[in-house]
Each structure stands twice: as structure tokens, then as C-alpha cells.
Amino acid sequence: MHLPLRKCYHVIKLGIVLVLILTILTLFEQWRGGKRSTRAQELEMVQDEFEKQILEDEARIIPGLGEGGVAAHLVGEAKRLGEESEKALAINVYLSDRIAYNRTLRDYRNPACTRVLYDAELPSASVIIIFHNEPYSVVVRTIWSVVNSARRDQPWYRHANFVDRASGKTMNLGYPGQDPTSPFVYLKEIILVDDNSTLPELKGKLSHYIRTRLPPDLIRVLRLPDRVGLTKARLAGARYAVGDVLVFLDAHCEGQPDWLRPMLQRIKDSPKSVVVPIIDVIESGNFYYSVQDPEVFQVARCFHRQGLMRARMTGARAARGDVLIFLDAHCEAGADWLRPLLQRIRHKRDAVLTPLIDVVDQTTFQLDAAEHFQVGGFTFMGHFTWIEVPEREKKRRGSDIAPTWSPTMAGGLFAMNRAYYWELGAYDEQMAGWGGENLEMSFRIWQCGGTLETIPCSRVGHVFRSFHPYGLPAHTDTHGINTARMAEVWMDDYAELFYLHRPDLRNNPKIGDVTHRRILREKLQCKSFQWYLDHVYKEKFVPVRDVYGFGRFTNPSSGLCLDTLQREGEASPLGVYPCHDTLQATQYLSLSLSGELRDEEKCAELQYSRRNPDEGGEGEGRKVLMVTCHEKDRGQKWRYLSSKQLQHVESQLCLEAGPQPGADVAARPCRRDAPAQRWRIDYSEDN
Ligand code: LR7
Ligand code: MN
């Protein structure tokens, strides 16, 4: 009895200890597990919240709205809310939130593009999209557009086969190193660079959207800890990228079918080509996707019948409108085709205009848009402009869809071989905020041995905004300062023409140090700006090149100078103003060798006078208007007489100073004894 009792006691003691340990263990486990699950729960709750918001977003979308790229309209209260959002954000965000993230677009490409075969083996692309406080739905639509238009399973995806040299076998592998089953044959990655946005929906919600709605392992989001501006944000994206080619996009773009391959193919064939797509317009108010130049309208017609002259005359006699428009009876007009014509005729009564004529196929009624796109130019004020493709370039490129040389690029949408990007000096990392980097890179490309080309089969739409919805660092003029940095490094003596517009920036310490960029220019043995003007952009009017005289045009008897008086607008009268001691932009005019009296973009011509079309009235004379130079022989030709008079060749009238500062000049019958008709030019062959 004794022993078993003792044993029993021990057994019980042991049991109790064991039970205690077990209880403690389970309690601990429970405690730990509980803790873990609250964390998971919290995370889940946040995700659920994002999910809920995203589902709400998706429920808001109106099927079919804006589909095909047509203008989207809302009515009533929704319309008002839309307009309000556009006023505040420069984009109709309320509307954007209601248009499908992956809407389709009408295909505006030249039909010849659909017949091009691209190599099966193309360089891989890293698409870099930077953003600061861009509207969420617009960013998501941009991402979808890139993803969709780079899929191999799209109907348009056809390619030339890749022949393996070793085995002689025909293969379709995509590019080397890529999983051949991946649907994104040449899209390596999309890198989103968040330039320190403050909008909450661009943080967790956007990440959640990407994680749950978009293909895995394709999209990275880089969150910058500080706001660095667009140049440095792009640099950050480029450092991160691993694809063969860098493709930069603004965060409000939609690509046309197959927009990426034509650029990759060109870079493969010519690695030092930096390429841009044709940039189409997505209207900020209604998301209408239209071809690049909104002024270009399209009237389509199929075939021309003969012998219609008499019928037209009869019609013209009966017409009562201000303007006669003749159309064949088998035309289809593009959007807003009429107003550009009427607008032009209002400014220039004697203009006879033809629209851009597209072709409608007579059997299929397929509309083939006449190829029209513009390339990049610049002004000495440091701004990007659109220019027509020069005639000599049309000859050189050989075909409407061939790579077309462009003197500059807009800056936001381009593709470039990644190694070449770094070799060529990437970006000037001391450029802040917005602006300037586009001309800097354009000049650098050309001057240092590359080419800048528009690839016509690649078209991407961009939402053009009328103002920046985001603030820029401390309201500094980053565009001016960045442009001055560019001018200091790349423009040689021509930098003076920039400083003429910005005397405040001359020798301004705000510009900062550019030594390292000058060293880069030296190292790459780049050519001069003069070379650029002479070889790349011959058509550019340079106020000191190919001119008979330039500078101030002084009327000695009054001490007044010709002055554009900072008047903006399509056609603004030329006036006079007391001469400035130093040359300033509004008084900087040239008399070109072809006889134009002009500033950088506008030429003096006479206003049409209804009363007396050929003679200047004895009274007020005819007004002299500054209008866009047309480089045709008519109307904009002047000559400088030995009597120091400026004579308008066509009308034989002479330029006469206005009576007081700020007055308009006039063209009047030439009188040798009229002191108001005498002009002295600062720099000319005579002086
Ligand atoms: O501080 C900033 N940080 C940014 O990340 C300021 C802007 N950004 C982002 C912004 O969210 C956007 O995605 O940078 C991108 C470009 O800014 P936008 O869209 O306000 O510029 P933009 O389209 O008005 O201006 C054009 O010129 C700029 C000069 O610095 C840039 O080069 C833009 O990329 C360029 N856009 C285009 O080329 C599109 C075609 C427009 C034309 C002509
Ligand atoms: Mn933009």
C-alpha cells in the first residue's frame, strides 16, 4: 500500500506539472496566435477597405462612355460636377472616373502600318511613367493602355519569324530571356515613379489595384521620399529599369494599337535613334481622342467627277452666306472641319483654302486618313513648338510612314536605347520642377551624334491641360532656370537670343553650376549649335541669320522704334514705342533676305482694306499686322530703299511711324519728304 501510494503521489505531481506546462504553452500559443491574427485582421481590413473603394469605383463606370475615343458627355448635375472638376484640376476628373479604364480607341494609324511586319525578336522595353498628384482614374487608364497594347494575343500582333542561325529553324521566341509563353513579348516592365504625391488614392489603393487587377510581376511602383520634379523622377525610374529600351510616358496617355513595336524596331535597327510617337490629343474636357493637330480637320471624299464648273457657278450666285464652301457630293467630313476654315477666312479675307483631303475607299468605305503630323521646333524664348515636316525631310525619309527627323521633341513621350541613354548623359540632374529638359535632351541628341525621329506608325494620345494642377517648388520659375542651364551648355553664342527674352537670368546665380555638363559635351565631342542650326533645323528663322538687317528699327525724327507691344493673338497691329537703350525682345525685328519684316515667328503684312483694297487711304492708311509667316511670296515682302524707307512690295506703300508712343504704324503712299517714313536699322549692311 505504502509504495503504490507514494508512486501515485509522484505520478499525480508529475501530472499536475505537465498539465500546468501544457496550459501555459497553450495559453502562450493562444496569446501569440491572437496577436498575429489581429495584425492579419488589420491588414485585411485595410485591404477590404481598398477593395470596397475599388468596387465602388468600378460600379461608377458607365459602359460605352467614351468608347472608341469619341467625346464623352454627361448631362445635368453630372455635367456641372464635371466642369467644376475640370476647372480645379485641368482635367474633367469626374468624367474620367466614369469612363472604362480600358476603353478602346478608333485606330488612326496610317493603314500602311497594319501591313508592316516587325521582327519576332525585339529589344525589351521598360516603360517609365512618372506622376505627381495625377488623377487616379487617368493613371489607371494609362497603365491599362500600356498593358493592353503590348499583349501578344491582340488581333494585330503579327511578326516576321525569327530564324535561328545554328539550327536553321524558324522560331518565335519573343526576345531572348523572356518566357516564350508570356503574353507580354517585348514589355519587360512598367515602372511607376510616384514623385511624392500627396493624394491618398495614389498610395495604398493604387498599389492594391495593381496587385489585384493587373498582370503579376509586370508593374513596379517606386515611391520617392521627396518631391524631386519630373527630370529627377525620370532619372530614378531609369536607374531602376532593366529593359533594353527605356520608354517614357506622362501619366495621362492612351496608346493606339501596336504603338510600342514600331519604336522598338527602329531602335533595334538604329540604336542611336531616339524616337517619339505621333502625339495625339485627348481633350481634357471630354476625353475625345483626336489626331495631333486639332486645327487639321478632315474632309474625306472618294472620286472626283468632271465638268462641274457650271453647276458651281450657279450655286455660288444663289448663295447668301459670307463664305462659299464647295464640296463634292460624296464626302464625309471629320469632326470640327468647318470652323478652322471660317476662322482663317475671317482673319484673311482673300484666303482660298482647301481642307486636308482623305480617301474613302469606293468599295469598302474605309477612311484612310491623309498622313499629316508635325514634328518639334523651338523658340529662342525656350519653348517647344510644333512645326510642319520640312519638304526636304519629306524627300529624305522616302515614305509617309518612315522615321521622320524632328529637330526637337515635346519631352514626355519617347523611347531610347537604355545603354545609349546613360552614354549620352541621361538628364541634367540639377534640373528641378517642370520644363527645359526636353530641349536640353533634343539639342544634346543631335549635337552629339544621335538622331531624333518621329515614328509615324506609333501613335499615343496625351491629355493636354491648360494649366498645371500641381504646385511647383516654392513657385520658382523652374522652366526659365532649367532653360538657362540648357542654353549655357548647348547654345554657344545663341544663348544671347534666349537672354534677350530673359535679361533677368543673365549671369544669375540661380542657374547653378553647369561645369559637369560642359565636360560631358567635351567628352562626347559634340558639335556646335551653329552646326545644329545649319544641318538639323535649316528652316528655323534665326534673327541674325539670312537677314539684311536686324535689331531696333528707329524712326530718328520721333525717337520711336518699331515695337510688337507684347500684343498676343493671331494678327496684332505693329506699333511704335520709345526706343529702349538696350535691345529687347519686343523691339528686336529683322528684315530677312527674302524681304520679311519679322520677329521670330511673325511677319508684317497689310490689313486688307475693304474700302480701298489697293491704295492706302489718305486718312489713316492701312494697318500693319503681325501674322504667322507663310513663306510664300505674296503679301509679306518689304524692301529697304536707299532713302531709308521701308516699302511694302505688293502695295508699293511705305511704313510710317505712328504719332505717339503705343500708336500703331500705318502703310501710306511713299513720300520722300516724310520724316515719319524714315527708318534706321541697328545692324545692317549699310551701317
Ligand atoms: O514635379 C513634377 N513631378 C512629376 O512627376 C511635375 C510633373 N510630374 C509628372 C506629371 O505628373 C506628368 O506625368 O511629369 C509628367 C509631365 O508633366 P505634365 O504633364 O504636367 O507636363 P506637360 O505635358 O504639360 O509638358 C511637356 O513638357 C514637360 C517639360 O518639362 C515635360 O517634358 C512633359 O513630359 C511634356 N509632355 C509631353 O511631351 C506630352 C506632349 C505635350 C506636348 C507638346
Ligand atoms: Mn503631360
Which residue's CA lies nearest to atom 20 of ligand 1? 468
> What is the Rg, in whole angstroms, of the alpha carbon atoms belonging to the chain?
33
**250 C-alpha to center of ligand 2: Å?**
5
How far is it, in rounded angstroms, from Cα 574 to Cα 352? 25
**410 C-alpha to center of ligand 1: Å?**
9
The pLDDT score that the predictor gives to residue 313 is: 64
Please give the C-alpha separations between residue 418 and each of 405, 424, 426, 457, in angstroms, as whole numbers: 20, 10, 9, 22
Ligand 1 within 6 A of CB of 122: no
Segment 250-275 mean pLDDT: 96
Ligand nearest to the CA of 142: 1
Q: Does residue 356 surpass a pLDDT of 80?
A: no
Q: Does residue 576 surpass a pLDDT of 90?
A: yes
Ligand nearest to the CA of 193: 1
- Counted residue by residue, the chain has a size of 687
The listed CATH number (3.40.50.1860, 3.90.550.10, 3.20.20.140, 3.40.50.970) that belongs to domain 111-282+374-464: 3.90.550.10
The pLDDT score that the predictor gives to residue 153 is: 78
**Between residues 361 and 395, the one the model is more confident about:** 395
Query: How crowded is the C-beta side of 190, counted as CA atoms within 13 Å?
Result: 27
In sequence order, the 6+-apart residues with CB closer than 8 A to the CB of 20 are none
**422 C-alpha to center of ligand 2: Å?**
24
Segment 213-232 mean pLDDT: 95
Continuous segment of H or E residues that includes residue 339: helix 338-347
Express each pLDDT in 184-202 by its tens digit.
Answer: 778 999 999 999 999 999 9
- Which residues share a beta bridge with 683? 550
**132 C-alpha to center of ligand 1: Å?**
10
Q: Does residue 617 surpass a pLDDT of 70?
A: no
Q: Report the range of poorest mean pLDDT among 306-310, 409-413, 498-502.
A: 306-310
Q: Which atom of ligand 1 is nearest to the CA of 193?
A: 5
The pLDDT score that the predictor gives to residue 57 is: 97
The pLDDT score that the predictor gives to residue 292 is: 54
Segment 9-22 mean pLDDT: 86
**431 C-alpha to center of ligand 2: Å?**
17
Express each pLDDT in 588-614 by its tens digit.
Answer: 999 999 999 999 999 999 987 655 544
Is there a contact between 377 and 408 (Cβ–Cβ < 8 Å)?
yes
**Between residues 682 and 472, the one the model is more confident about:** 682
Q: Which atom of ligand 1 is nearest to the CA of 468?
A: 20
In sequence order, the 6+-apart residues with CB closer than 8 A to the CB of 93 are 85, 86, 135, 137, 138
Express each pLDDT in 381-425 by its tens digit.
Answer: 999 999 999 999 999 998 889 999 999 999 999 999 999 999 999
Best of 247, 280, 434 for a ligand 1 pocket test (most atoms within 8 Å of beta carbon): 434
Ligand nearest to the CA of 467: 1
Ligand 1 within 6 A of CB of 280: no
Q: Which atom of ligand 1 is nearest to the CA of 434?
A: 30
| 298 pLDDT tier (thresholds 50, 70, 90) | very low
- Which residues share a beta bridge with 655? 667
Q: Does residue 567 surpass a pLDDT of 50?
A: yes
Which residue's CA lies nearest to atom 32 of ligand 1? 411
Is there a contact between 74 and 62 (Cβ–Cβ < 8 Å)?
no
Ligand 1 within 6 A of CB of 131: yes
Q: Does residue 493 surpass a pLDDT of 90?
A: yes
The pLDDT score that the predictor gives to residue 647 is: 96
Which residue's CA lies nearest to atom 33 of ligand 1? 412
The pLDDT score that the predictor gives to residue 327 is: 75
Query: How crowded is the C-beta side of 528, counted as CA atoms within 13 Å?
Result: 7
Is there a contact between 124 and 108 (Cβ–Cβ < 8 Å)?
no
Ligand nearest to the CA of 473: 1
Reported ipTM: 0.99
Ligand 1 within 6 A of CB of 229: yes
Output the average pLDDT for the chain: 88
Is there a contact between 330 and 388 (Cβ–Cβ < 8 Å)?
no
Task: State the sign of the Cα–Cα–Cα–Cα dihedral 138, 140, 143, 149.
Answer: negative
pTM: 0.83
**Between residues 183 and 639, the one the model is more confident about:** 639
Continuous segment of H or E residues that includes residue 8: helix 2-60
Is there a contact between 65 and 38 (Cβ–Cβ < 8 Å)?
no
Ligand 1 within 6 A of CB of 287: no
Ligand 1 within 6 A of CB of 234: no
The pLDDT score that the predictor gives to residue 155 is: 78
How far is it, in rounded angstroms, from Cα 78 to Cα 98? 10
Is there a contact between 189 and 128 (Cβ–Cβ < 8 Å)?
no
Segment 569-596 mean pLDDT: 92
Best of 230, 282, 427, 483 for a ligand 1 pocket test (most atoms within 8 Å of beta carbon): 230
Q: Which atom of ligand 1 is nearest to the CA of 470?
A: 6
Q: Does residue 438 surpass a pLDDT of 80?
A: yes
Q: Report the range of poorest mean pLDDT among 162-166, 175-179, 329-333, 433-437.
A: 175-179
Ligand nearest to the CA of 132: 1
**Between residues 2 and 265, the one the model is more confident about:** 265
The pLDDT score that the predictor gives to residue 263 is: 97
CATH topology (fold) of 547-684: Trefoil (Acidic Fibroblast Growth Factor, subunit A) (2.80.10)
Which residue's CA lies nearest to atom 34 of ligand 1? 412
Q: Where in the chain is the domain with CATH 2.80.10.50?
A: 547-684
The pLDDT score that the predictor gives to residue 306 is: 37
Express each pLDDT in 509-543 by its tens digit.
Answer: 999 999 999 999 999 999 999 999 999 999 999 99
Q: Which atom of ligand 1 is nearest to the CA of 250?
A: 13
Which residue's CA lies nearest to atom 36 of ligand 1? 412
Which residue's CA lies nearest to atom 41 of ligand 1? 410
> Which candidate, 458, 389, 369, 399, places its Cα nearest to that of 111?
369
The pLDDT score that the predictor gives to residue 369 is: 53
Ligand 1 within 6 A of CB of 230: yes
How far is it, in rounded angstroms, from Cα 385 to Cα 376? 6
Express each pLDDT in 23-75 by its tens digit.
Answer: 888 887 887 777 767 888 888 888 899 999 999 999 999 999 999 999 999 99
Ligand 1 within 6 A of CB of 431: no
Ligand 1 within 6 A of CB of 132: yes
Cell of 672: 520722300
The pLDDT score that the predictor gives to residue 305 is: 40
Q: Which residues surround ligand 2, an ion (CB under 5 A)?
A: 250
**260 C-alpha to center of ligand 1: Å?**
20
| 167 pLDDT tier (thresholds 50, 70, 90) | confident
Whole-angstrom distance between the N-terminal and C-terminal Cα of the chain?
Answer: 138
How far is it, in rounded angstroms, from Cα 528 to Cα 448? 9
Best of 250, 431, 465, 467 for a ligand 1 pocket test (most atoms within 8 Å of beta carbon): 250
Q: Where in the chain is the domain with CATH 3.90.550.10?
A: 111-282+374-464
Ligand 1 within 6 A of CB of 123: no
- Which residues share a beta bridge with 359? 301, 368
**430 C-alpha to center of ligand 1: Å?**
17
| 237 pLDDT tier (thresholds 50, 70, 90) | very high
Please give the C-alpha separations between residue 114 and each of 156, 158, 290, 661, in angstroms, as whole numbers: 8, 9, 19, 60
Is there a contact between 182 and 292 (Cβ–Cβ < 8 Å)?
no
The pLDDT score that the predictor gives to residue 364 is: 60
